[in-house]
Chain A
Amino acid sequence: MQEKLTSLEEAIAPICDGDVVALQIMATYMAPMALVRELIRQNKKDLGLVVLIGGIAVDWLAKAGVINRLIGAAVTMEQFGLCQQYRKAVEQGRIRVEEISESVLNARLGAGARGLPFLTTRGAIGTDLMKENSDNMKMLDDPFGGMPVMACRALVPDFALIHAHRADRYGNIQYEPGARWPDLAIMPKAAKHVVVTVEEIVDSEVLRRHPERTVLPGFKVDAVVEVPNGAHPTSMYPNYGYDTQFHREWTSVSRDDEKATEFIDKYIRSPASQSEYLELIGSEERLQYLQEWEGKR
């Protein structure tokens, strides 16, 4: 079997400027943040980003000039508010938004995963989303005589980036039971290449004890990297919660271009590794606090 274990640098290096990159993310929930930081460190440019509900990652990528288009259903940091750098970039025309609804995104990625030209939905009919996405959303008569449906064109991202609980060296990916989002269920299957960070690399024998928890076979994965706390500052249920203090630190500077640049330099460009990054955010004590989220917040 082919080994897929590699470093953050090597995992992200094959992504070319202009590629379409699908990112697992749901506001403050479970995003591959170490991979996001690596995209910024490698100065990737003109990426198209696919998200269900983008959060702080989108704000950082917008600020760092990594993305110039976004295909997704929403961008928000939930209780921490709008992503101000993303918002500014869209309002100034630096990021072009192809806004689609959740069922349309599912249909587009689902078609991509299955090699179909399109899948259909009855969601979003009658909205202005159709007008702004007429290349990818078209009304279609039901060949069986029912009401018309909306055809959603296949979306095949060049890369999907995800973070998971564990994997073996061969890239078999496993999650703890919990709420799962469509970006997990379908994004990696639709994408040409898949890059995964995990909390821990384990022996394949460990995965075999719970095959029902394996969600992606190793042959569909290009690269896997062990990155403990790799979702920080987003949450990784049940391991750790989202980091309220860190989100607030970002939102306290994110309207100010200069201070936002300082933040990105300090937390993203300067640390040479995940452990240096974790030391910056407060190391053991802070991480332990985040691990105790359940029942508290």
Chain B
Amino acid sequence: MLDAVWLIPALPLAGFVLLLVFGRLLGDPGAGWLATAMAAASFVATVVVFFGLLGEAEEDRHFVQILFEWIPVGDLRVDVGFLADPLSITMALFVTGVGSLIHLYAIGYMHGDPDFPKFFVYMNLFIFSMLMLVLGNNLVLTFLGWEGVGACSYFLVSFWFTDEANAAAGKKAFITNRIGDWGFMLAIFLAFAAAGTVDYLELFQATEGLAAVTVTAIGALLFVGAVGKSAQIPLYIWLPDAMAGPTPVSALIHAATMVTAGVFLMTRVNPILAAGYDWVPDVIAWTGAITALVAATIAIAQNDIKKVLAYSTVSQLGYMFLAVGVGAYVAAIFHMVTHAFFKALLFLGAGSVIHGVGDEQDMRRMGGLRKYMPITAATFIVGWLSIAGVPPLSGFWSKDEILLSAWASPGAQGKVLWAIGLVTALITAFYMSRQVYLVFFGDERWKEGEEHAPIEAEAEAGAEPAPEAAGANPGDGHGGVHGEPHESPWIMTLPLVVLSVLAFVGGGLNLPFTEDMHFLQRWLEPVVGENELHIDVSTATKVGLAVVAVLAALVGIGAATMVYLRRRARAVEPAVLAHAYYFDETVSAFVAGPGTRSFDAVAWFDAHIIDGAVNGVAHVVAGAGRRLRSVQSGFVRSYALGVATGVVVVLGYFLTRITF
């Protein structure tokens, strides 16, 4: 059963190749069905491997399958091999599972797009890359997947590249990721230089023999990579812009899977983090906490339905890094899984709304949609309650676990981190409720046709909804909808329903009441057990903390209700939040001004000094050749003189060898 590991990435790869060749032939919706089938088949393979792992004893739950030797160079040996252990299979399960659902959804969402097959080519390639990332048994293979998902993110974000802004967003995503990748690469080099191997299992064994500085450096550099990929401060700027891609892309890549790769990496290398100095996990925790808080504040003032969710993702990823930083790896993975469920649900729901109102993304021109899109509204509300942390939905359990771990971590900083997390939870509840009220409740503002709010650079060309009685507006974002909003077809609502069920019951993975119900914790024990934070608080404290968290959620929801539903209080949405603290503008100004100047200086240096040295050598050689050519005068007597001079030299040489 475990031997089927290689099938997990192989099936999406096959899908990619088949679609590359036959995509145009299969067309719309054939290509989509093929891609979804491949993703679903991969999910089945993952389930098979999962049961295979379950069948093993706890200590034996890591299975390595090496396909072939990829890079055998000197002392370096990098294989293409898969490490099937609880962590990687957990990741693979929700990547393929949620991925299949999103593929299914995309068949409906992308219907009518002229580049329909190309979309699924990229989607399958993405699933393949992500699976290589999580299943790889060494750093280089993970990096292969890392880069692959980055490339696919670029392809998919700039899918409608004829609009300049979308192409720019794609480039921004790729380049910002690249900055993080630099850290990852340095970590790989350092790991090989210090330990002579990049294989995970061997590397973990070797960490005992390494100097603490080296191990800390590796961990810190890997965290730099994670910051880029998982959009933490300061490399988060690409994620909101990446909303320019189609909504299934946002759901899959920028909510459920790619952005969690950073958290996965940190969890995977937890022995390295544990063996280094303590300041690295501290930095991780604080980065996560501050990112969570700042992103949550920005989300309060956003008007685009997807941007709210984008900043929300950044914020929730901050929670996961907070958990990793304090050593609560299980909590981080738990939150990652539940977040995949409810965030994908929210994004797909947002896509459904956008589709239903004819490509309108500004929330100020929505409202009261629950009458027209009941299924979307219901599932969206489930997602909302989950992310807000309302029990018994999944988000409550995972978020509470993180807050508990923060409280329980040693020192005063644990309490501070907990406080930050609590405030963030409150704000999260607030902005998500704001979003739900603006979209699904209240006045039906989409009926007011002439109000022109500033249009953000969203994709305008693109998915043309099927010409229905609602009367779609192809590529027209102005004004309201001509006709009524409509519910999406079953192919889009089915994944919504499935995900809402998962978001509801997902908490059951790791209920804290008894040891038996702590399934995820026991399941991940072989991978993170040694370095997991030990929580030594009394049950009373745990209950107290949970109650406080629920209260915070209710306060947030209540405040939002006051402002946006009941109109009792005034909305406070300062411009500084709407512009995300002007961070983007600062970065742009820096890059355009001093940044460009320093880049120009470096380029000048390269062109004139480094290239100049190389060209200078060529010039010197050519010049010497030119001067030497004058020796070839053609005059016989000059040559004769040369010969005679040679005779003198040779005679002299031989004379010196005679002893007098």
Do A and B come from the same complex? no
